[in-house]
Amino acid sequence: MSGSVDGAASTGRTASTQGTDSARGARQDAVRVRVPAKVNAQLAVGGARPDGYHDLANVFLAVGLYDEVTVARGTPGEGPVLTCTGPDAAQVPLDATNLAARAALALADRHGIAPDVRIHIAKDIPVAGGMAGGSADGAAALLACDTLWGLGTPQDELLALCAGLGSDVPFSLLGGAALGTGRGEQLTPLPVGGTFHWVFAVADEGLSTPRVFQEFDRLTAGADVPPPAADPALLTALRAGDAPALAKALANDLQRAALSLRPALRTTLAAGTEAGALAALVSGSGPTTAFLTADTEAAHRVAAGLTASGTCRTTRVAASPARGARVVAGSADPAAGAGA
């Protein structure tokens, strides 16, 4: 996969061994994992299924905004203990509902070990912003725990655990670009022929993803909702690295629902377009809005225009695709055995 902003071309190694080969099987004291946000270049949504979920055709792009999750050994018997710092950290739950804690519990249960870890989340991905920040933390914690405990779990098993945590979690582990089908968890990697430049406008308050889907169901009640499918023109634009062509193909079936719940986002979308963005859309379930630009210089101009418009709380500039969850720091004691 070409065009990664941080040299994330696929190496063929599993996620659990990226950057940690020398430590595999050794006892780790603490492990830090960096994990990217995502933007949906296309989010096609089918009608509600009997289980309450929706079939999706979800074209994910990982973007260069990152959370970092550090996992260290905790006190025996206390289970996962979470802390969080960074923008909007007060909005992050620090109990068992947090996907990072759930990831540690799921991996420990899978291998029959005690989940006694201390998990610290350094937030930089917008919270409740439609950029999969919570899912990213779950994927990062899973990889960090796997490395901390010296498990070397195969990637397909890690992805299965991710899918059990949430629909976006598997992509956070892989990164790059992928088509997600089913609930979004069944991933097919996609080739990308260049770097795409984005501006993200962060809203004042988050939006609940379940609430947005409920609004989608309300707005489409009685309508014939077609089965979701990836747009061939969009996939071609990604493969060619063609930003103008990608701009024409960007689409989000949840945008109407997000705008219904948060009408003020229309003003933000208009402000970014007026500032020179090639295209504007709600990111995932929102309320973060995403603006595709021609290059880095244009991205900074659009960000400045959005800031001046007063229609958003803050803006972020980033490029895609970006590498998925990866170990960036971790100490090993080669003389010690694996396990908790």
Closest by Cα among 324, 327, 330 to 6: 324
Binned at pLDDT 50, 70 and 90, residue 2 comes out as very low
Q: What is the pLDDT of residues 287-302, one digit of tens each?
A: 999 999 999 999 999 9
Give the β-pairing of 27-48 and 54-73.
antiparallel
Q: What is the pLDDT of residues 237-288, one digit of tens each?
A: 999 999 999 999 999 999 999 999 999 999 999 999 999 999 999 999 989 9
Whole-number percent of the chain with pLDDT over 90 = 80
Q: What is the pLDDT of residues 175-201, one digit of tens each?
A: 999 999 998 899 999 999 999 999 999
Work out the average pLDDT over 193-218. Answer: 93
Q: What is the pLDDT of residues 124-153, one digit of tens each?
A: 998 878 899 999 999 999 999 999 999 999
Burial readout 272-300 (b: 16 or more C-beta within 10 A, e: otherwise): beebbbbbbbbbbbbbbbbbbbbeeebbe
The contacts of residue 340 (CB under 8 Å, 6+ apart) are 73, 108, 113, 114, 115, 116, 149
Query: pLDDT value at position 205?
Result: 83
Binned at pLDDT 50, 70 and 90, residue 172 comes out as very high
Q: What is the pLDDT of residues 112-129, one digit of tens each?
A: 999 999 999 999 998 878
Structure tokens at 142: 């899973």
The set of catalytic residues is 38, 168
